């Protein structure tokens, strides 16, 4: 679509919407909306069409044709500016929210005096919207979600993997099975995602039409690529014939630094590599690749898993056939950080065991909070005793065994929130920092080192304490933590909650290099959260971790042995 036409179409559309907010003549509203659609579909730039030709298009009358000319020359038209002046400017901004049209805006404006997005947010939070006729609680929630999406779109905040999965779930509805792959940072398993990149062999004209139906807004629509907003996130789609699908997938998976290094390697052999294939510069022949694997073979290297493609040494390793064997989801025998309804989780112990069974696990480590900080309904010594009895009962009836652990607070002075007397009877103990986050680096580091040195603490939970998009990691010297944990054989957690992803790839890599152990825990508080294991596994792969580095691959007997 022509960009200038698009802008003109948008302005005509806006004119119709503002007239509707003002409750003007519905025929006039329809005339603008119709004209907007027609101009939006024109292949020829409007600037190249004469006034007479414009007027002759069915659905564009003399009046609107004049306004189109005005827009071509001035970028706007007088009547639009005039009606804009008759409504608070915030109303036009509200129209950009998903699920908010002129009728809604009018009602909110007239009945609740909502004039800005902030007003709308306040009204929704104050439950004032559900009182309106035809507006339920669901609509109220919808507004809040649309506002959050719009803000995310404006800021350059990266998505959590869970948010990315939601966007992809939506896009999937427009795509046909087996015709596409999600590439980019998502495919590389990164802890956060900037935008979603998709490679597809579908026909652009067909798919673009379907994408329009799921998009909040199209950014760009073409034969080679399209971009759009979906649930507040940007999605880029690249079209390719199946004969060059492998090259396009490789290119779009990146990372950029990896692509550049790989291109240099190819160039060293006299080949130019790009997203369409490999050209032999001496002979002038071009090789096309429908499969990514064949490109690696052509270059004489092993297939590099997407998670490793960062130019962190994987290219040399693949050339010399020394790539590490990475951990896989199927190696994982259990989750090592799960909360039950004994503290702030939603599952009782039986539900926990069943959820573990459904994942095919042989064990789940139940790690409810200790009571030391008086938060999140923590457990004290006697509660833990009672919990232990109940675990024994539940374990009789299920194939997935619940291991009795705790997530004990590492207090500001480095001692644990429960005494050794209590910790020594538990199967596996996770120690985490949940307070005094502002300690300076050395104090915080020594605090965590004391926990690592504590013979009863087996795992350090979410070691940097970051909450993605909300709280930075606390000041801590991770190098010292990693070295000390490797020396004592204490595992560092790879917390797979999409809100944490802590520790991240670089620290996992460092821990693996030091021969340290990693423990993956989802920090699940509900049954659906156990699925986050996959995020943790991918993060561990990014850190070059093999099954031997990750204690979740141990069978129950060996795990208990390891912890004792
Ligand atoms: P993100 O979206 O920030 O989480 O990270 P990516 O890696 O998905 O980056 P994105 O979406 O900007 O680009 C997708 C892929 O396209 C990227 O991984 C590699 C490739 N790419 C993008 N820009 C360039 C470039 O300038 N040169 C090369 N060689 N490749 C690029
Ligand atoms: Ca991306
Ligand atoms: Ca992109
Ligand atoms: Zn915690």
pLDDT (tens digit, 9 = 90+) per residue, 284-337? 999 999 999 999 999 999 999 999 999 999 999 999 999 999 999 999 999 999
Q: Does domain 329-563 have CATH number 3.20.20.140?
A: yes
- Look up the CATH number of domain 159-239: 3.30.460.10
pLDDT of residue 5: 86
Rounded to the nearest whole angstrom, what is the distance from the C-alpha of residue 196 to the centroid of ligand 3? Answer: 6
Neighbouring C-beta atoms of residue 378, cutoff 10 Å: 23
Q: Which residues of the chain have pLDDT under 50?
A: none
pLDDT of residue 344: 87
Q: Are strands 401-409 and 363-369 parallel, antiparallel or unpaired?
A: parallel
pLDDT of residue 424: 96
Domain ranges (residues) in the chain? 3-154, 159-239, 244-319, 329-563
pLDDT of residue 47: 87
Q: Does domain 3-154 have CATH number 1.10.150.110?
A: yes
Rounded to the nearest whole angstrom, what is the distance from the C-alpha of residue 227 to the centroid of ligand 1? Answer: 14
Residues with CB under 5 A from ligand 3 (ion): 195, 197, 236
Ligand 1 pocket: which residues have CB below 6 Å?
184-185, 193-195, 197, 251-252, 254-256, 259-260
pLDDT of residue 13: 95
Token duo for residue 26: 């519905």
Q: Please identify, in words, the CATH class of the domain defined by 244-319.
A: alpha beta
Residue 184 to residues 134, 164, 241, 528, Cα–Cα distance (Å): 42, 12, 19, 26
Q: Which of 563, 556, 435, 538 is nearest to 488 (CA)?
A: 563
pLDDT of residue 155: 66
Q: Which of 513, 433, 442 is nearest to 480 (CA)?
A: 442
Q: What is the CA radius of gyration of the chain?
A: 29
Beta bridge partners of 229: 217, 234
pLDDT of residue 482: 98
Q: Cα(345)–Cα(367) distance, rounded to whole angstroms?
A: 10
pLDDT of residue 554: 98
CA-closest residue to ligand 1 atom 28: 256
Tell me if the pTM is above 0.85.
no
CA-closest residue to ligand 1 atom 17: 254
pLDDT of residue 156: 63
DSSP state of 410: B
Long-range pairs, 132-135, Cβ under 8 A, ≥24: 132/107, 132/108, 134/107, 135/107
DSSP-derived 3-state class of residue 228? strand
- Which H or E run includes 185? helix 184-187
Q: Which ligand number lies closest to the CA of residue 236?
A: 3
DSSP-derived 3-state class of residue 257? helix
Q: Cα(250)–Cα(276) distance, rounded to whole angstroms?
A: 10
Rounded to the nearest whole angstrom, what is the distance from the C-alpha of residue 185 to the centroid of ligand 3? Answer: 9
Q: Cα(134)–Cα(123) distance, rounded to whole angstroms?
A: 16
Q: Is 55 left (phi over 0), alpha (psi -120 to 50) or beta?
A: alpha
pLDDT (tens digit, 9 = 90+) per residue, 230-276? 988 999 999 999 999 999 999 999 999 999 999 999 999 999 999 99
Token duo for residue 251: 């290119």
- The packing angle between helices 381-397 and 349-358, to 10°, is 50
Residue tagged 């409504």 (tokens) = 87
Rounded to the nearest whole angstrom, what is the distance from the C-alpha of residue 252 to the centroid of ligand 3? Answer: 8
Contact 40, 9 (CB under 8 A): yes
Rounded to the nearest whole angstrom, what is the distance from the C-alpha of residue 389 to the centroid of ligand 2? Answer: 49
Q: Cα(94)–Cα(119) distance, rounded to whole angstroms?
A: 10
- Exposed (0-12), middle (13-18) or buried (19+): which is 91, by Cβ within 10 Å? buried
């Amino acid at each position: 679509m022509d960009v200038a036409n698009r802008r003109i179409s948008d302005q005509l559309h806006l004119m119709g919407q503002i007239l509707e907010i003002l409750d003007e003549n519905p025929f006039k509203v329809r005339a603008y909306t119709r004209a907007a659609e027609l101009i939006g579909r024109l292949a020829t730039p409007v600037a190249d069409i004469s006034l007479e030709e414009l007027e002759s298009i069915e659905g564009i009358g003399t009046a609107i044709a004049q306004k189109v000319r005005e827009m071509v020359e001035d970028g706007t038209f007088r009547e639009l500016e005039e009606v804009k002046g008759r409504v608070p400017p915030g109303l036009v901004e509200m129209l950009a929210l998903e699920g908010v049209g002129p009728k809604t805006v009018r009602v909110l404006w007239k009945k609740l005096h909502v004039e800005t997005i902030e007003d709308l947010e306040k009204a929704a939070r104050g439950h004032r919207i559900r009182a309106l006729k035809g507006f339920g609680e669901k609509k109220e929630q919808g507004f809040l979600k649309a506002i959050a999406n719009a803000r995310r779109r404006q800021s350059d905040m990266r998505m959590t993997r869970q948010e990315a999965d939601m966007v992809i779930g939506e896009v999937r509805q427009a795509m046909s099975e087996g015709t596409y792959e999600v590439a980019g940072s998502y495919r590389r398993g990164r802890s956060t995602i900037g935008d979603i990149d998709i490679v597809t062999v579908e026909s652009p004209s067909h798919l673009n039409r379907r994408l329009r139906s799921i998009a909040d807004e199209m950014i760009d629509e073409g034969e080679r690529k399209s971009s759009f907003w979906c649930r507040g996130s940007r999605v880029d789609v690249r079209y390719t014939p199946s004969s060059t699908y492998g090259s396009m997938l490789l290119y779009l998976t990146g990372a950029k630094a990896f692509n550049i290094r790989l291109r240099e390697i190819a160039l060293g052999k006299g080949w130019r590599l790009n997203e369409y294939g490999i050209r032999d510069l001496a002979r002038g022949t071009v090789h096309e690749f429908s499969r990514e694997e064949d490109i690696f073979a052509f270059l004489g290297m092993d297939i590099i898993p997407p998670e490793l493609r960062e130019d962190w040494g994987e290219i040399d390793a693949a050339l010399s056939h020394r790539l590490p064997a990475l951990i896989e989801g199927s190696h994982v025998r259990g989750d090592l950080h799960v909360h039950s309804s004994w503290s702030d989780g939603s599952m009782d112990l039986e539900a926990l065991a069943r959820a573990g069974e459904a994942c095919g696990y042989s064990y789940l480590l139940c790690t409810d909070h200790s009571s030391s900080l008086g938060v999140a309904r923590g457990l004290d010594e006697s509660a833990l005793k009672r919990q232990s009895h109940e675990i024994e009962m539940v374990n009789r009836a299920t194939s997935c065994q619940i291991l009795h652990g705790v997530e004990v607070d590492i207090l500001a002075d480095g001692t644990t929130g429960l005494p050794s007397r209590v910790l020594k009877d538990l199967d596996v103990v996770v120690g985490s920092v949940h307070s005094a986050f502002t300690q300076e680096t050395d104090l915080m580091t020594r605090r965590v080192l004391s926990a690592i040195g504590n013979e009863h603490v087996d795992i350090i939970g979410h070691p940097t304490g970051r909450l993605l998009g909300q709280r930075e990691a606390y000041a801590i010297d991770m190098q010292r933590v990693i070295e000390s944990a490797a020396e004592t054989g204490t595992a560092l957690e790879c917390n797979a909650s999409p809100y944490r992803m802590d520790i991240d790839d670089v620290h996992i890599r460092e821990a693996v290099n030091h021969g340290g152990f990693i423990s993956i825990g989802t920090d699940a508080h509900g049954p659906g959260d156990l699925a986050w294991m996959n995020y943790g596994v991918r993060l561990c792969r990014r850190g070059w971790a093999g099954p031997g580095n990750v204690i979740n691959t141990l069978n129950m007997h060996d795990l208990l042995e390891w912890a004792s």
